[in-house]
Amino acid sequence: IVFDALDLRLAKEAKKITQAHPPSQFDLDTGRLSMRSEPGEPVTPAPGNGSTTHIVVDLRGKEVSTNATETNKPYSLFTRLTGLPLVEVQLPGAISTFMLARTLTYQDEPWRFDMFGGSRATRGNT
């Protein structure tokens, strides 16, 4: 395991940080159970269940774009399980270790760069 300065700071100040910014709360068991169905009989989620609010922010946490007002949002298992929006950081260039070892403030909450991206956080073959 490689720890960078951000990881070390977060570990050292974990109590202070979590007191100022409590972790998001969600019930994964309830979300998982809501997806159960009889074998071979999948059930379509209720309208809006898992609809993703996709927000793009810049390096300072300022919103660049959002689909918040759209009525036909894409489905996301992450959103269905957590109820959290998908927040993507618009980077000025290629992904680097330096960029991933940073935080930004969005809606008065600290966000880690390396917690963003998912499948979008892959390097191209250029």
Give pLDDT tens digits along the chain (126 positions): 556 788 888 889 999 999 998 888 888 898 888 888 999 998 888 888 889 999 999 989 999 999 999 988 999 888 888 888 888 888 888 877 777 778 888 999 888 877 655 444 444 444
Tokens of 114: 């390396």
This prediction's pTM = 0.71
Terminal Cα distance for the chain, rounded: 28
Tokens of 41: 């009989």
Amino acid at 86: L
Question: Which three-class secondary structure state does DSSP give residue 18?
Answer: helix
Q: Where are the domains of the chain?
A: 50-121
92 and 59 Cβ atoms separated by less than 8 Å = yes
106 and 64 Cβ atoms separated by less than 8 Å = no
